[in-house]
Amino acid sequence: MRMSTKRLVILGGGGFRVPLVYGALLSPSSPIGSVVLHDVDPGRLAAIARVLRAQALSSPAAPSIETTTDLTEALTGADFVFSAIRVHGLEGRVIDERVALAEGMLGQETVGAGGISYGLRTVPVADAIARRIKLVAPDAWVINFTNPAGLVTEAMAAHLGDRVIGICDSPSALGRRVVRALGLPDARVSYAGLNHLGWLTGVQHEGADVLPRLLNSSSLLESFEEGRLFGAAKIRELGAVPNEYLHYYYDHAALVKAELAAPETRGEYLLRQQRECYAMLSSQSSPLEAWNAARRQRDATYMAMEGLGERDDAEGGGYEDVALALMLAIARDAPTSLILNVRNQGTLPLLDDDAVVEVPCAVDGSGARPLPGASIPAHGAELVKRLKAAERAVLSAASSGSRSVAVRALASHPLIDSVPVARRLMTGYQANFPELSYLR
């Protein structure tokens, strides 16, 4: 028997990707002995719990599984809280996309108008959750995957300080692909930015920066996902390897055009696919097979939609592995370094100390601290500052309930081109989201 005693609470426990997290916890090194799934939707909760129970059959030391729709009950006794909620569900993601596209703007779930709308309805919920955690489980470590992850982590940090740590799989996946392309799996990467707005700016190997070796070779660059996404020429022009989400900035007009022409958005596709999947999960005798089939289908669409080749989530290193690595380092007090969303504390001089940034961190039993030496490419500095200003306006709108400040948040986003457009977007979002009625 494994000596795993820690209690992990998963908020958004009825979410489609929860079995990935539970699958990671089946690893013999996992410190987690019990899992509590919390969700506001009892149907989804029951469906996903069935999948987890089927996963557990294959592993004698699998963590126990409980479910509840009561937040206080869920949080009581928690050592770790993993938050992956989606306020207004995938229906909300579709509204984020469609209201923006109707204005000729991007409605991506985390970038542009969609990300601001999603933030405006999520921050009040994340704030309430953070307050409850502080009351009920003040010693718990909180791992935030709820998007927009940087902004939501900053909202929660107002109550939880450095006890909340935001995660994303994209920076570490980029780092892994870059060192593999260079054939230097032990090299260390320099990376910095905000969540979904960061750059890989160097690769340290035997005391030298070997990134130029990559930048000078089109075939090496185009041997991995981000290299193909941006193309070798663009990456050389930028002088750094951008996070995949910078596609929405660097190729903005082309993407808006493509999204407007596409038969369905990412949110519409996922909504359709997941409706079918959850219906199957509650009726089928083999929930794990049904879930696996839906997951394979979802993964295959990355290839079809982006023309990139299959995502390498399948080979490991997805967000569930980042979460597990983080919990392991904390629970076992085993020092490691990971790229995480934490308060800046002087790491990036262009932002204040409380701004949550995404940078390499030293992690051990005392938590995560940003490592010194992170830097943003000069051309990206203004973009980072403008996005942080937009995020700060979201936080301020959420705490004051001011619609004007919410419009300001939209208008300050680097991808929204005017105040009148921002105002119309706000009207469109408020007409569709009861969660935004607090903005007056």
Binding residues for ligand G6P, rule: CB under 6 A, are: 147, 168-170, 266, 270, 319
Q: Please tell me the distance from the alpha carbon of residue 80 to that of residue 167, in angstroms, as a whole number.
A: 14
Q: Which does 153 bind (CB under 5 to 8 A by kind): ligand G6P, Mn ion, none?
A: none
Residue 192 in the binding site for Mn ion (CB under 5 A): no
Residue position matching structure tokens 């009581």: 76
Q: Please tell me the distance from the alpha carbon of residue 194 to that of residue 385, in angstroms, as a whole number.
A: 10
Q: Does a cis peptide bond (omega within 30 degrees of 0) precede residue 148?
A: yes
Q: Which does 39 bind (CB under 5 to 8 A by kind): ligand G6P, Mn ion, none?
A: none
| Amino acid in the structure at residue 73 | E
Instruction: Give the contacts of 227 (CB within 8 A, at least 6 positions apart).
Output: 181, 220, 221, 235, 241
Residues with a known catalytic role = 169, 245
Q: Which does 248 bind (CB under 5 to 8 A by kind): Mn ion, ligand G6P, none?
A: none
Q: Please tell me the distance from the alpha carbon of residue 363 to that of residue 162, in angstroms, as a whole number.
A: 12
Q: Which does 266 bind (CB under 5 to 8 A by kind): ligand G6P, Mn ion, none?
A: ligand G6P
The CB-of-260 to Mn ion minimum distance in angstroms stands at 24
- In terms of CB distance, is 270 or 416 closer to ligand G6P? 270
Q: Please tell me the distance from the alpha carbon of residue 231 to that of residue 46, in angstroms, as a whole number.
A: 44
Residue 340 in the binding site for Mn ion (CB under 5 A): no
* DSSP labels, 110-135: SSTHHHHHHHHHHHHHHHHHHHHHHH
Site string for Mn ion, 120-159 (x = CB under 5 A): ----------------------------------------
The CB-of-220 to Mn ion minimum distance in angstroms stands at 25
Distances (CA, A) of 55 to 45, 79, 292, 413: 15, 23, 11, 42
H-state helical runs in 57-112: 71-75, 89-102
Find the residue with minimal CB distance to Mn ion.
Answer: 168
The CB-of-245 to ligand G6P minimum distance in angstroms stands at 8
**3-state secondary structure (DSSP) of residue 144:** strand
The CB-of-307 to ligand G6P minimum distance in angstroms stands at 16
Residue 221 in the binding site for Mn ion (CB under 5 A): no
Q: Which does 22 bind (CB under 5 to 8 A by kind): Mn ion, ligand G6P, none?
A: none
Q: Is 147 annotated as a binding residue?
A: yes
The CB-of-39 to ligand G6P minimum distance in angstroms stands at 17
- In terms of CB distance, is 79 or 391 closer to ligand G6P? 391
Size of the site for Mn ion (CB under 5 A): 1
Give the count of beta carbons closer than 10 Å to the beta carbon of residue 94.
24
Q: Is 168 annotated as a binding residue?
A: yes
Tell me the torsion sign for CA atoms 223, 229, 234, 240.
negative
Q: Under rule CB under 5 A, which residues in 154-173 are in contact with Mn ion?
A: 168
* DSSP labels, 191-235: EEEETTEEEEEEEEETTEE-HHHHHT-HHHHTTSHHHHHH-HHHH
- In terms of CB distance, is 269 or 430 closer to ligand G6P? 269
* Backbone torsions φ then ψ of 358, nearest 5 degrees: -110, 105
Q: Please tell me the distance from the alpha carbon of residue 238 to that of residue 216, in angstroms, as a whole number.
A: 13
The CB-of-341 to Mn ion minimum distance in angstroms stands at 9
- In terms of CB distance, is 65 or 168 closer to Mn ion? 168
Q: Is 93 annotated as a binding residue?
A: yes
Burial of 207 (0-12, 13-18, 19+ CB in 10 A): exposed
- In terms of CB distance, is 56 or 142 closer to ligand G6P? 142
Q: What is the rounded (10 degree) CA torsion for 221, 356, 149, 331? A: 90
Distances (CA, A) of 120 to 158, 263, 313, 385, 428: 16, 28, 30, 19, 13
- In terms of CB distance, is 319 or 433 closer to ligand G6P? 319
Q: Which does 44 bind (CB under 5 to 8 A by kind): Mn ion, ligand G6P, none?
A: none
- In terms of CB distance, is 191 or 319 closer to ligand G6P? 319
The CB-of-186 to Mn ion minimum distance in angstroms stands at 25
Q: Which does 118 bind (CB under 5 to 8 A by kind): ligand G6P, Mn ion, none?
A: none
Residue 174 in the binding site for Mn ion (CB under 5 A): no
Q: Which residues belong to the annotated binding site for Mn(2+)? A: 168, 196
Residues flagged as binding site = 93, 147, 168, 196
Binding site feature residues for substrate: 93, 147
What is the contact surface with Mn ion in residues (CB under 5 A)?
168
